[in-house]
Structure 1
């Protein structure tokens, strides 16, 4: 038995273009996680309610939807490398704006929301362009391995990032975290600039010339029953059971953390990516698996159970165990989801389909923040989280029964 086959599948790293992106992501993963903590923490501190975190998520969701659809059409009509540069440059400007807002002591919630909107536009563009670009540089049979490697580095940094943020916030303040994000993004811009040109196929250029083609991605997805089931399962897992918007409230009001963030908040934000990291170290097991549909559905059910346990947890230790286990099963869920969706995609429509997927897959967490933010304000953080976990288990079970092709998908 080759024991090494169960560990990290490194085959995509032999491809120079992917390797540069991967190395850059390893460097920037820590910095890239700072703003994810700083923005909701700053809003909760200024407004005193998770409802403002929900408003911020709604702003991000609306801007991301428009940006993903528009950039999806652009990715089928122009060099995808140039589109990646534009999206990452916009992210850098958003981080610099957040830093200046904090540095000048403006404490302006409306200005924060404007900068969140700029971030949403840039983030939607970056994700869509990256999703369309990676399958051009990685062979189809290595897409699961490439997604696993990307998740591993991203969440490795996300373990260190929240822990550092919890320590750094009381010492250097939130503003410095935004500046570190902007500086780290420079590494990504270098890696993208070093990519070869990635022009779309000629037939994609002819098909993507008008705004009426923006809906092609959704029409393509709607015609594939397994893809619809994949997205529905993923949406159920995200919308009902992704509790990030409530972690600042949970840290302060349930586990006794200080106002404005501290060790408890850092541990809660780090626990989920720690679970992803642990699963990622065994990514060879999943990258060579055949039953992608069954693995994805099972992971979604397990994720709902983990979130239900988080809602029931009265102490920080139990909450951290639930989040670590949830991160591990969510690694399997997201890896299988990406592999199935990318394997189905025609390259001539890849940009528009990726734009549609970005709306669904990244819009889901933002919608989760909206629902959890308002739900936490009305019901309390633990009750809102527990109900979300139970709804996930029920919804995924019904979807598997309604679309048995998903369970049988190989």
Structure 2
């Protein structure tokens, strides 16, 4: 019925044509006289009019047929687009269903007791986060961090931790760009048996975390390292930007070619080395015992209430103001203080203070009753109220008591504790 109705203009044009043709065939003489009077060429003029009208009707019919065909083509295209849309919707539904099923299976694999199955689940989740970051990135990040905090909690015995699984998750979290720039909470997590390298990490929480044994070529930004612990950790080419470092503890660790840029830094380091390190910002309430600091810079901030004891400092510049610090029983060579220095102790400091390879106990004992001699130190700024006197037995007792207290509360190797010679008490 619709097909018939859509061609009614053609039928109307045909009827008009038949009407005109009939009139011309049967009444052309009368029409010619009526239209052109008694002119000699009236029949020819009438024929021209007839042909013009016929041609015009033919053009109208052709235009309408073209219009009908174009509309038919448009409807065909629209139908095809609708079919494609429906097919795409069905394909997406199928694809989403497959992805959800893959995600479900991967999560279930994490609960398996067999290591290969768990590693397979980790790989599947990482692949989903890589290919479908907007859909799975956040949830995979949360699953990985939650699994780590459960598997490698700092309260767990190290022998009970599966380091292959922990390392695989850490590797995926740090190297997958759809994961490492999201907020990751690894507080109270033991990462000692892992490595982090060649990545950028932002907004991670390492609060009270045991840090990896090696961190190399990593950029940390806005991360929280408060009260984290580095035991035998190597920091190589690491850049910390706007990170929090309150109460950080380092033992037998090394910082090499690294920059620490923070508003406030507070750390304790025992038997640790800093080579070509740069510290930007305030360094306060920190302790360095038996450390080796070489070719380093402290800049752009305030250096106060720090104890650098029994430490070898070489070719290091303090482009920073210092107040209420202690460098007692340390060895300073080619050290420059370019800022304001006040109320700072240099008791017993000397170029030949000790052998840098000696342990902490020997260093302090060898410095007792030794006068300070600041031959390796240059002061380029204002300095006053400095204490550059002999290192006494009372100083040694205070140093050892503070050292033992820190070792007892924080150190992994408790045998670092030292015995205070009884004769020191007799000399007081």
TM-score normalised to structure 1 length: 0.18
Q: Name the TM-score, length of structure 2 as normaliser.
A: 0.17
More strand by share: 2
The higher relative CO (CA closer than 8 Å, separation ≥ 6) is in 1
